[in-house]
Structure 1
Amino acid sequence: MALKVKNPGLFTTVQDRGRYGHQAEGFSPAGAMDYRAYMLANRILGNDPNAAVLEMTLHGASFEVLDDVIVAAAGAQMPMQVDGEDVEVGTVVPLEKGETLSFGAASTGARTYLAAAGGFNVQPVLGSASTHTRSGIGGFEGRTLKAGDRLKTGGGSVAPGITKIKDFDTDDIIRVIPGQQFDRFKENLEPFYGTGYALTKDCDRMGFRLDGAVIEAAGGHDVLSEPTQLGSIQIPKDGKPIILLNDRQTAGGYARIATVALADIPKLVQKRQGDEIYFKEIDVEAAAELFKKEMEKIDSGGYFEPNSNFASHRRQLSRKIERIMKR
């Protein structure tokens, strides 16, 4: 065991890249909502690309360190501390047995990913460690973490980094491609593209309900149920968009005006209640090129920069000196 949960935070789950190939059986993919932050947290530790991490939402968790372990966090800016001492998100952080790792409320963004060397070890379900809380499968007993839970890691040695993860650029523009029932909305596109939409309190891993201009559909908003996909934007009878996300239902019966470009999913899922977004239409080819460039940047280390903060090294040294003095 490496970590024991002291305070689980607001909504903390085990996630990996997702559970794919089972939507026909009724299982949505789940998985880390911000795939970019997830991948970078694993990458800086040299983990397997599909290693399980902890996804913390809005307010992070705290942990007792049960065994020496090396961690890294990426995503929203949650204050991160070891024994009350500030540690920088986006860096490699060695932890020693007996220390306390804690995260506070996010100052910007919504989701932070905590990775550990070797990944978190949980029993996979249908080939994935991802938690889907609505169906109670995957992750840690199919649920959010709670106080007292003990987490295993794969372990491994990682040198304290000379690099760190860059802060992510963000704006309010969400690029979309036309959806399956786009033709139903051709006469009413101005409100969709010309005004902003605010995230409501009804935003979670299943989807984001938005508030703003009403969108009318020619021929009605209902369609025969069809398979859903990540980023689908449904327009139900009230005319307010719903963006389907990782824990979405596997089939839906509302007309879909557009689909969020995969490259903009990380930006979207870091938004929070009250934030306003604006939709911009692009074509399929442009969306594919944007995603290709995003993945190339992640894989090539384009999101890393030199780390000139050696606080983690100094903290380790001071801890060793303290232990020697107590002998």
Structure 2
Amino acid sequence: MVLKVKNPGLFTTVQDKGRSGHQAEGFSPAGAMDWRAYMLANLMLGNDGDSAVLEMTLHGASFEVLEDTVIATAGAEMPMHVNDRAVEIGTVVHVLKGETLAFGGASEGARTYLAAAGGFDIPGVLGSTSTHTRSGIGGMHGRTLQTGDRLKVHGGSVTETLLRVKNFENDALIRVIPGQQYDRFKENLDTFYESGYELTKDCDRMGFRLDGAVLEAAGGHDVLSEPTQLGSIQIPKDGKPIILLNDRQTAGGYARIATVALADIPKLVQKRQGDEIRFKEIDVREAAVLYKEEIDRVNAGFYFETDNNFSLHRRPLSEKIESIMKR
């Protein structure tokens, strides 16, 4: 065991790339909501692309370090401390046995990802370690982390790096593709694209409920239940959009006006209650190109920069000696 949970935070779960191929059986994909931050945290450690991480929401967790390891973080700006030493999000950190690793409340963004050397060693369910709390599968017994939970990591060597993750864009523009019932909203498209929508308190891993201009569907808002997809924007009877996300139901019966482009999902899921978003229409071809370009940027290191704060880079052996000498 490497980490013991002292405080689980607000909503901390084990996630990976997601559980694919089981929606027909009623199992949502789950998986890391900000796929870009998830990839970057693992890349910094040289982990496999589907390695399990911890996803912390709005307020992070705290841990007792049980064995020396190396961690990396990416995503929302959360205060992070190793004992009493402040460490910035987006860096690689050596943590030593006996230390406390603690995260606070996010000052910007909503979700921070914690990766460990080799990835967290969690049994898979239906091909994934991702937690889906509504069905109670994956991760730590299908639930959020609890005080006292102990986490193992696969471990392995980590190449010393002086890189850090750059700040991400945080503008309000979300690009979307016309949805299955787009034609039902022809009289409301100007309203949809020209009005801003605010995230309500009802925003979680299942979906984001928005507040703003009401949209009316010609022929009604109900449809025969159809398979859902990541980013589907449903318009229920009250006319207020709901964006379906990773833990969504596998089928839905409300008209869908649009679908969020995959390239903009990371930006969307880092929004929080009270934030405003605006929609811009693009076509499927453009959405595919944008997603490919974004994946290429991640893998090519575009989101990394040189970390000139050398005080953050620890020499574990010298710190162990210093700790022994203080006893």
- Say whether the fold is shared (TM-score over 0.5): yes
Distance 1:312 1:156 in 2: 21
Instruction: Report the counterpart of residue 269 of structure 1 in structure 2.
Output: 269
> Shift of the alpha carbon at 1:129?
0.2
**Any stretches of 5+ residues in structure 1 without a counterpart?**
none
> Shift of the alpha carbon at 1:169?
1.5
Amino acid at match of 1:202: D
Instruction: Report the counterpart of residue 285 of structure 2 in structure 1.
Output: 285
Instruction: Report the counterpart of residue 94 of structure 2 in structure 1.
Output: 94
Please tell me whether the aligned partners of residues 297 and 303 of structure 2 are also in contact (alpha carbons under 8 angstroms). Answer: yes
Q: Which whole-Å deviations, capped at 9, do the CAs of 1:265-317 have from their partners, x for residues lacking one?
A: 00000000000000000111111111010000011111111111122335746
Distance 2:313 2:36 in 1: 27
> Shift of the alpha carbon at 1:216?
0.3
Instruction: Report the counterpart of residue 126 of structure 1 in structure 2.
Output: 126
Q: Give secondary structure in 2 for the equivalent of 1:153.
A: coil
Structure 1 position 110 matched with structure 2 position 110: yes
Deviates more, 1:297-306 or 1:108-117: 297-306
Please tell me whether the aligned partners of residues 207 and 247 of structure 2 are also in contact (alpha carbons under 8 angstroms). Answer: yes
Amino acid at match of 1:261: A
> Shift of the alpha carbon at 1:187?
1.2
Q: Which whole-Å deviations, capped at 9, do the CAs of 1:3-39 have from their partners, x for residues lacking one?
A: 0000000000000000000000000100000000000
Please tell me whether the aligned partners of residues 120 and 154 of structure 1 are also in contact (alpha carbons under 8 angstroms). Answer: yes
> Shift of the alpha carbon at 1:325?
2.0
Instruction: Report the counterpart of residue 141 of structure 1 in structure 2.
Output: 141
Please tell me whether the aligned partners of residues 200 and 211 of structure 1 are also in contact (alpha carbons under 8 angstroms). Answer: yes
Instruction: Report the counterpart of residue 37 of structure 2 in structure 1.
Output: 37
Please tell me whether the aligned partners of residues 65 and 101 of structure 1 are also in contact (alpha carbons under 8 angstroms). Answer: yes
> Shift of the alpha carbon at 1:47?
0.1
Instruction: Report the counterpart of residue 228 of structure 2 in structure 1.
Output: 228
Instruction: Report the counterpart of residue 217 of structure 1 in structure 2.
Output: 217
Please tell me whether the aligned partners of residues 76 and 110 of structure 1 are also in contact (alpha carbons under 8 angstroms). Answer: yes
Instruction: Report the counterpart of residue 150 of structure 1 in structure 2.
Output: 150
Instruction: Report the counterpart of residue 161 of structure 1 in structure 2.
Output: 161
Taking a change above 3 Å as real, the CA distance of residues 314 and 29 of structure 1, as seen in their structure-2 partners, is: closer
Please tell me whether the aligned partners of residues 13 and 131 of structure 2 are also in contact (alpha carbons under 8 angstroms). Answer: yes
Question: Scaled by the length of structure 1, what TM-score is found?
Answer: 0.98
> Shift of the alpha carbon at 1:326?
4.2
Question: Scaled by the length of structure 2, what TM-score is found?
Answer: 0.98
Amino acid at match of 1:20: S
Please tell me whether the aligned partners of residues 94 and 312 of structure 1 are also in contact (alpha carbons under 8 angstroms). Answer: no
Please tell me whether the aligned partners of residues 160 and 312 of structure 1 are also in contact (alpha carbons under 8 angstroms). Answer: no
Distance 1:317 1:192 in 2: 58
> Shift of the alpha carbon at 1:69?
0.7
Amino acid at match of 2:192: F
Please tell me the root mean square deviation across aligned C-alpha atoms, in Å. Answer: 1.1
Instruction: Report the counterpart of residue 58 of structure 1 in structure 2.
Output: 58
Q: Which whole-Å deviations, capped at 9, do the CAs of 1:154-201 have from their partners, x for residues lacking one?
A: 011214421111111120000001000000001111211111000000
Please tell me whether the aligned partners of residues 118 and 153 of structure 2 are also in contact (alpha carbons under 8 angstroms). Answer: yes
> Shift of the alpha carbon at 1:323?
3.0
Amino acid at match of 1:103: F
> Shift of the alpha carbon at 1:238?
0.2
Please tell me whether the aligned partners of residues 175 and 260 of structure 1 are also in contact (alpha carbons under 8 angstroms). Answer: yes
Structure 1 position 5 matched with structure 2 position 5: yes
Please tell me whether the aligned partners of residues 64 and 99 of structure 1 are also in contact (alpha carbons under 8 angstroms). Answer: yes
Instruction: Report the counterpart of residue 255 of structure 1 in structure 2.
Output: 255
Please tell me whether the aligned partners of residues 228 and 249 of structure 1 are also in contact (alpha carbons under 8 angstroms). Answer: yes
Please tell me whether the aligned partners of residues 93 and 314 of structure 2 are also in contact (alpha carbons under 8 angstroms). Answer: no
Q: Give secondary structure in 1 for the equivalent of 2:152.
A: strand
Instruction: Report the counterpart of residue 304 of structure 2 in structure 1.
Output: 304
Deviates more, 1:158-167 or 1:271-280: 158-167
Q: Give secondary structure in 2 for the equivalent of 1:183.
A: helix
Amino acid at match of 1:192: F
**Any stretches of 5+ residues in structure 2 without a counterpart?**
none
